[in-house]
Amino acid sequence: MIKLLVVDDSPLMRRLLSEVFTAVGDFEVAIARSGAEALDMLVAIAPDVVTLDIHMPGMDGLACLDRIMVLRPCPVVMVSSLTAEGADETLEAMALGAVDFVAKPRGAVSLEIAALAPALVEKVRQAAGARISRATRLRERVRAQASGALRKPPPAPRIPRRITPPAGPLPREGLVLVGCSTGGPPALDALLGQLAPGFPWPIVVAQHMPATFTGPLARRLDRLCALGVSEVSKATPLVPGHVYIGRGDADLVLTRRSGVLHALAAPSDPERYWHPSVDRLVASAMTLVAPESLVGVLMTGMGNDGATAMTELKAAGGHTIAESADTAVVWGMPGALVAADGASIVAPLDRIADELTALLAT
């Protein structure tokens, strides 16, 4: 049985979520009415996974998440509204250590919850098995245990390590294609934060997310990284040293206009389950660019999106990098690539930028 703690100040949401998870049979559900009550229950019930509402009176979801990741790190799935404000808060939650998020029903909650239930259960079940690094917030945990206090220290300034771009000649035209899903935003932060402004190829990213989230994600990464980062909402020419995030609820495909490679948001392919589709992105790139001038990077995420196309890319002479199980929050997508013998390189997250730079140098 999976021990689930549902944290929400709404009696209706607590009841509906409890019913959804109890009905599937493999969840043991406990409920908390506030962030403070959730913290009290952490040790008492030792949950395998927590669903956590962002907006609660008193201690809100972000403050509660911060304390969970210091006191007793465990997989947390945020319950978020699909708004611009909700997107920024959710991305902040993922930076604090949340594994994933689910959309809060926007209309009649009791009617919409049935339609959301399958995806909700799948995400929470996957999150229950997610990897939470023992190093997560370790310094703060030690400080809290030593002092007996629950003080949140001021955040340390982010000083990303910059990797020098490769010297020597490169193919005239090349692309890095990145795919990720659950746990992807922090993984993108870690990968892109290590790359220097002179990175010689464009980087195109398919991150599974709703449309209201990918714009805030691009703006957040643009603030944190040396490379320029933008969301692809219209046909956009690709230039070296820039990162292009596919718009959510659509697919990201490549085309050539007047001899120049462009990325554009295309209507999502109904035959594909995840969007933006990594498989579709890689397949479109392979029709325009020689395989040896393409590098595919598949990072954390549930499912297998990207594994088929990147396996074909490797077989055609391209290069692929899969995040290793040691660091992936969910080793679904990269694990599927490894299982298909489609990974040229398997590396932990903190080594992917080095491997990528080495590949471009050769």
Residue of 8, 60, 208, 251 with catalytic role: 208
* Preceding omega of 276 cis (within 30 degrees of 0): yes
Tell me if 205 sits within 8 A of 227, measured CB to CB: no
Annotated catalytic residue 208:
yes
The Cα diameter of the chain in Å comes to 65
Per-residue CA distances from 280 to 289, 308, 317, 321, 322 (Å): 14, 10, 18, 18, 18
Phi-psi region of 303 (alpha: psi -120 to 50; beta: other; left: phi over 0): left
Phi then psi for residue 205, to 5 deg, are -120, 130
Residue of 34, 80, 181, 324 with catalytic role: 181
Residue of 80, 305, 319, 324 with catalytic role: 305
Annotated catalytic residue 324:
no
Tell me if 334 sits within 8 A of 324, measured CB to CB: yes
Measured CA to CA, the distance from residue 116 to residue 72 in angstroms comes to 29
12 CB neighbour count, 10 Å cutoff: 11
Measured CA to CA, the distance from residue 26 to residue 99 in angstroms comes to 20
Annotated catalytic residue 305:
yes
Structure tokens given for 51: 């669903």
The span from the first CA to the last CA of the chain, in angstroms, equals 49
**E strand or H helix that includes residue 265:** strand 260-267
**E strand or H helix that includes residue 257:** strand 250-257
- Positions annotated as catalytic residues are 181, 208, 305
